[in-house]
A = this chain, B = another copy of it.
């Protein structure tokens, strides 16, 4: 698009230099066409879109390689939770200026992840903005027909599972913002938490396993408590979670035990990008074995219950833990 009086070329050069090398899929047409192509497939196409904004989802001094990984991975996390195998993505990049060093690092990391997760760059749009850096990714994945895992299939009696550990990223962000006194955690522990905030680990190997076993699934991005409430609402069920069974990392355990963060900080924090899913009891053993085979840690944290009550988190005394907030909202 062209407001009169604007600067001469540069955008095409930028795309050719940094992003064309990533556009290895034939459907990307080397990024010289107006559109990308996904060939007809016998599968359903799953589409997810997530944007990140400087100062909101990442910090102004975050490095371009972690920003690139994060924006792709938050979308890959959605695809994994839906049981979809990655097919490709398109990228919208709104930049204040085109800095070579920044773009080279961003594109290199994006390309590495695109290769690692077999999710090639198909196309995009690069625009200038006078405001904060903003990056939007729309990612595509395939499932066999009718096999996308929805939020809405959970049934009373199903077991509730999460992957990995919960609360690391929220604590990592808090560390970056100076909100945790440092004496409880050593540097490797702090680095681990910050890395968990900056570079999520999409549970892509679990996608096919979820298709075989899960009645519902979503990724935990806005906090376990709030996301579980959404899953329950979509499935028209309730849930009981055994708080002490929620998997936490050693550093999170330490700051919890030291009273530096609350249980609420862990389950209503965000940026976990772990999978939350429901598994029928008679599938649990096979699900756990399959997850072990692909080296994704899964932990049973509770059960689906009938009714439309809000999910409860039960403490060691068997009583519900009161939560003042469940998750984050932008508005």
Chain B residues in 8 Å Cβ range of A291: none
Q: A6-49: contact bitstring with B at CB < 8 Å (1 yes, 0 no)?
A: 11111110100000000000000100111111111111111111
A302 CB to nearest B CB, Å: 21
Number of copies: 2
Of all chain B residues, which has the CB nearest A9? Answer: B329
Alpha-carbon distance between A94 and B3 when the two chains are bound, in angstroms: 22
Given contacts A53-B94, A331-B10, contact A44 B35 (CB under 8 A): no
A268 interface contact, C-beta 8 A: yes
A residues 101-125 in Cβ contact with B at 8 Å = 122-125
A79 interface contact, C-beta 8 A: yes
A20 CB to nearest B CB, Å: 13
Once the chains bind, are B131 and A131 in contact (CB under 8 Å)? yes
Stretch at the interface among A147-155, A279-287, A307-315: A147-155
* A contact residues vs B (CB 8 Å cutoff): 1-4, 6-12, 14, 29, 32-53, 55-57, 74, 78-79, 81-82, 84, 90-92, 94-95, 97-98, 122-132, 134, 136, 138, 140, 145, 148, 150-152, 170, 173-174, 179, 218-219, 221-223, 230, 233-234, 265, 268-271, 325, 327-331
